[in-house]
Amino acid sequence: MRRAGLVTGLALFLALGCKPLPQVSDGAQASSEPGASFDYRAYIDAVYNKHDPEAIDRFFAPSVKVHSVAPDAEGGEGTTYLKDLAKSLISAFPDVKLTVDEVVQEKDRLAARVTIEGTHKGEFAGIKPTGRAVKAANFAVYRLENGKIVEVWSLTDVAALTRQLTKK
């Protein structure tokens, strides 16, 4: 019975002409329009893995709107806001490394799943340095315009980070 429902659902999906979004597991670029791709891996490497928040200017519009970064956290605007966030993360986790797990891009939208890893050596979310290694997920959706990010919806699993930093 369950298999019949799955087959029927798949048949409906195909019959309606729906197509899946292009998906790239290794962080490479993908797009349905020529010239509309955004090098997400280059952004992550430049800003976070090379610890250069000033590189944000290369990837974001000056008036970028950030709708969210974590649960219960207000968003902000502008590249200065994003640079401050990056500096805070790098200060709290000086060896921070972000791994791009998945990128999906379609027209002016890009979605990404990233793993954040680092050692807690500076204050983070009011928690004094613990020296603990942490690992958490980040999911984000971006809107692109003229080759730069103009809007961000991001969610980092701060609860997982906090649990790892406060466990006894």
Domain boundaries, given as residue ranges, for the chain: 21-166
The pLDDT score that the predictor gives to residue 82 is: 95
Nearest residue to 115 (alpha-carbon basis) of 157, 82, 149, 165: 157
Residues 6+ apart with CB under 8 A from 116: 89, 93, 96, 97, 98, 134, 135, 136, 137, 138, 156
Segment among 27-31, 64-68, 102-106, 112-116 with least mean pLDDT: 27-31
Q: For the chain, what percent of residues have pLDDT higher than 70?
A: 77
Asked if residue 142 has pLDDT above 70, the reply is: yes
Residues 6+ apart with CB under 8 A from 166: 127
Question: How many degrees, rounded to 5, is the angle at CA 51 between CA 63 and CA 30?
Answer: 65
Nearest residue to 70 (alpha-carbon basis) of 132, 136, 118: 136
Q: In the block, which residue shows the tokens 């979310």?
A: 125
pLDDT band for 32, please (50, 70, 90 cuts): very low
| Residue range 21-166, CATH number | 3.10.450.50
Separation CA 96–CA 49 (nearest Å): 7
pLDDT band for 2, please (50, 70, 90 cuts): very low
Q: Mean pLDDT over residues 49-71, rounded?
A: 93
pLDDT band for 71, please (50, 70, 90 cuts): low
